Amino acid sequence: MERIEQHACHGGRQEVWKHASDTLACDMRVGVYLPPQAERAACPVLYWLSGLTCTEQNFITKAGAQRYAAEHGVIVVAPDTSPRGDGVPDAEGYDIGLGAGFYVNATQAPWSTHYRMYDYVTQELPSLIETFFPTTQARAISGHSMGGHGALVAALRNPGRYRSVSAFAPIVAPTQVPWGHKAFAQYLGDDHETWKAWDAVELVRDAAERLPLLIDQGEADDFLATQLRPELLRRACSDAGHPLHLRMRAGYDHSYYFIASFIGEHIAHHATALRG
């Protein structure tokens, strides 16, 4: 782990670290916010997964999360959204390749060597964070858009690993929307049955843990009807008896203005669960 940025922020430190990832076979960058409480005691960790086209920088510079993380004594870890570097495959378009890892383990060439973001965010990255930083074993996870999809899938596939999960404008049913069709066909192949293991709507039907899902969705989001479709998750949770708090926010779009408006509520939600 090599620290490449450090900034004083709300009494704590916003840092960016670089490390060699065995899982992704490349160097990765990750933002780590250490609240002032981390100077004297171990703190719980909130993992944030960003959306399409983002790096580790978008969340740490635009969301304003540090203020609330400092208030509640939560370490916030924000990794990049995909592997990067020489030899890492890419493709035309913003929704496949670099910046669009989709938090799955790719099985198809040329993606399978590097694009294993699910294993990275659920296994390798937490192991590094818990080794190098003053953390407790309490974890939470959240994300936006593609990252919201990643957060929901990570929580639903790993009962007991996270104390809480939330999302902003998540892709809840990638097997049923164009973004998911494009990415999954490339990363996972043509067998649509295998896609279901990476779809929150499918996973919630048989979830082994009834971890409540907190979701904020802007009603003015340009992607609402075509790519996000929160009504599919609402229906699946209702059918399965899975707890869901879906808040439709009038006037809000898909941008970081939306995230910055409600990130404080999400961090407070996670802090309560992390303390429990």
The C-alpha R_g of the chain, in whole angstroms, comes to 17
Classify each residue of 162-190 as buried b or exposed e, where b means 16 or more C-beta atoms within 10 Å of its C-beta.
bbbbbbbbbbbbbbbbebbebbbebbbee
Name the E strands within 10-153.
Answer: 12-21, 26-34, 43-49, 75-79, 135-143
Other CB atoms within 10 Å distance of the CB of residue 18 = 15
In the structure encoding, which two tokens stand for residue 198, read together?
Answer: 């990476």
Which residues, listed in sequence order, are joined to residue 79 by a DSSP beta bridge? Answer: 30
The verdict on whether 221 is a catalytic residue reads yes
Q: Pick the catalytic residue from 254, 266, 269, 270.
A: 254
Rounded to 10 deg, the angle between the 256-275 and 65-72 helix axes is: 10
In the structure encoding, which two tokens stand for residue 228, read together?
Answer: 């996000």
Q: How far is it, in rounded angstroms, from Cα 36 to Cα 244?
A: 32
The verdict on whether 255 is a catalytic residue reads no
Q: Pick the catalytic residue from 166, 221, 242, 270.
A: 221
Q: Pick the catalytic residue from 142, 145, 164, 166.
A: 145
Which residues lie closer than 8 Å to 234 by C-beta, 6 or more apart? 244, 246
Q: How far is it, in rounded angstroms, from Cα 129 to Cα 131?
A: 5
CB 253 within 8 A of CB 221: yes
Q: How far is it, in rounded angstroms, from Cα 134 to Cα 39?
A: 8
The SS3 of residue 134 is coil
Tokens 């978008």 map to which residue? 58
The verdict on whether 80 is a catalytic residue reads no
Q: Which amino acid is at 238?
A: S
Residues annotated as part of the active site: 145, 221, 254
